[in-house]
Structure 1
Amino acid sequence: MIALGVGFSARCTAAELEALAAGVLRAVPGDRGPRRIATLERKRETGLLEAVAERLDLTPLYLSAEDLAPFQEGLSRSAPAEAAVGLTAVAEAAALAAAAPGARLVVAKTASPRATCAAAIGQGAG
């Protein structure tokens, strides 16, 4: 299982998020079977995750802040994420949560002007 985790601002476009996610996917080593893209539940109304998921053949997944809380330790800190949702990291934590169990980051947080994306691989990956 390969999972991308993303965080994005209200000004992010589908094109920007898609380009960022596609770049991170290209950096993932090997073919890892099923693929997901995850973000915070509060971003559902934007419709961006579904648009990007469809274009990149990913399954969209929405997670709560509580789902991401156990994955915060040791991740890079994001002041905007802390201010908005009380978490130190969104993209990396979403990738780890979506790829769990046994998830490990394989592509560190990568940023565009209005979004971040990271990739993780979980147990059972190809």
Structure 2
Amino acid sequence: MSDFALAFAEEYKKYMKAHKVRQRAIADYLGLTEAYVSERVNGKRALDTNDIDALAVLSDTTGRSLMIELARLARETLHGQSETASVASQLEKVMGREIEVEKAAYRDENKKAESGRGEDLD
């Protein structure tokens, strides 16, 4: 498996732990064995969209949101965070909700002029 796939599996595992979702619950949801889930969570086999959807349902989110979040975290694990992403991450933890730093910056007329981008991302 690729480095990204392994990092993605590691983030999946961390997400499970953070949301108190056990391998047994995912296996039951999928109608498969716990060994199936274990192989994927531990990076022995690649995760697929069914695995993502199962964890999303069991943690009360959407598959799309979970996929994007896990991919972002895996990328950061492999390539490190940008300074802006790091600050945004810390703010999200403190605030308890997601923020959109780039969109917020482009709503500020001064930031539009500084960046040379006049479009509004809304």
Greater strand share, 1 or 2? 1
Q: What TM-score do the two structures reach when normalised by structure 1?
A: 0.26
Q: What TM-score do the two structures reach when normalised by structure 2?
A: 0.27
Question: Greater RCO between the two (CA within 8 Å, min separation 6)?
Answer: 1
Greater helix share, 1 or 2? 2
